[in-house]
Structure 1
Amino acid sequence: MRRQTRSARVATRCQIVLLASKGRSSRQIGESLGCHRSWASRVMVAFRERGEAALLDGREDNGQQKLTEEYLAELHDVVELRPTDFGGRRPTWTQELLIKVMAERTGVTVSPATMSRALKRNGARRGRPRPRVRCPWSRARRKARLREIEQVAKNARAGEVVVFADEVDIHLNPKIGLDWMNRGRQKSVMTPGKNEKRYLAGAKNAQTGRLTCVERPMKNSWLFLALLSALREDYPRARCIHVILDNYRIHHSKIVQQALKQHENRIKLHFLPPYCPDANRIERDWQDLHANVTRNHECADMNALMTDVWAWIDERNGRFATKIRRAA
């Protein structure tokens, strides 16, 4: 049969049976033929039960195709929601739950392997949801403020600079993130056990993407004032520096307000709506910082970690020739 068939799958099944008859184990067969040992085991079991008929390709007898365009479109809509939206208790999806819900909605029941293929065809992936907080402002008010911010960023006049500012926490205890690992070999990350923190304040130029950053051991008004001072030094010829930022308390404290009175015409603060991090362009840079430095790091102390942080910032800003200010 192996020499008579034109089907590669049928020929492989025949080879599995021949090798098994010579006393080869499923693992040895898998290594010889480049297939998984579980498939070799299933082929041998099927051959013992049904003989040569088990070696033939019976996919044409499977009936109507299950993964139709309508099924995939419905699956896409279901994945957008949560199991609780369909009366379930579990807050996250599993393949078994998806199979159950899709069977109820479409009348089509599929296997876990088929569901895995369906998810892959839809481009679905397993990932961590992003936490967010509901903005207390009305939708209209929020949109109006975002339009104002966008106009400030787009319509800066000659001699004006627009920056997006924010702070980021650097933890000595590493953030644990995904990494590639060999099967059966889980990597480990050595942690210091006792956490320490350092804080960066940064401002991203809306036109050029350049960063101005300062570092302090505490996140307070003095950190923000150090950033404003660094901005004045980095843009000495700017008639006005527009700073777009969130309404965190250190950005509008009494100390900051008193300091701004001395530079009333030089620095203007534009506050984003509450809980609106997506509108702050520097947030992406902080995400990249964590991905490239702090996640899964094994620095023994904070000084070593901050050396890596500044090295990454210097490398990221090399193409912008950014002046990086490090506050004492």
Structure 2
Amino acid sequence: MREERAGAPLVRLCVRRRPESEKALPEGKGRQWLKRKQRQALLRWAVRSGCPLTYRRCMAVAAVGRGASCHAVARAMECATSAVVSAVRRYQEGERQALRDRRESNGRRKVDNRFRERLVRVLEGTPEDWGWCRPTWTRELLCQELARRGLVRVSVATMGRTLASLGARLKAAKPIVECPWPGWRRRRRLHELKWLEVYGPSREPVLHVDEVDIPSPSQGGT
């Protein structure tokens, strides 16, 4: 609303603007089967729902109801065309209540604090510590190990999300193991060993061990 003085009288001009969500919707030349008030009410309800997935579905329905094609809406929202078609079909069958996230009624979450604590305890060891014949963990193997411990069996994707939330990453194991001591302690120990080598008794031999020589099967080892 703004005020202007044109001569003597004071005139008030009401300027109606589209909401920001309306500006983001693609325009089309098709049939508009949703009126403007219906689209605005749908988008306001989507904002109050607090669910981003529900909001995206309402945006897609409002855009298609405005006359845009499903393909154009999918390109503008950077999603699959089938997702837009599914949202429009759900709205036509059950109106806006059908656009809610259906995972709300799935029941109790499978991944709870107890599940996370057991997973952290398992990750502290290696699969060989628990009887598996491999040195590193995989998501499939973690699912089997936790199910063997009496917990609910989850999918590989759920295990991956749980590992990401715990800060665990899937990567190759290090070929070497660094010394856990701080630098000053490691240097002091090396100095003591060198002192024993130089000033130690002559009747006590000094053995240098650089690495473990494990013969390969091609060399006749077992």
Q: Normalised by the shorter chain, which TM-score bucket?
A: 0.3 to 0.5
The structure carrying a bigger helix percent of its residues is 2
Q: Bigger radius of gyration, 1 or 2? A: 2
> Which has the higher relative contact order, 1 or 2, with Cα contacts under 8 A spaced 6 or more apart?
1
TM-score where L is the length of structure 1:
0.35
TM-score where L is the length of structure 2:
0.48
The structure carrying a bigger strand percent of its residues is 1
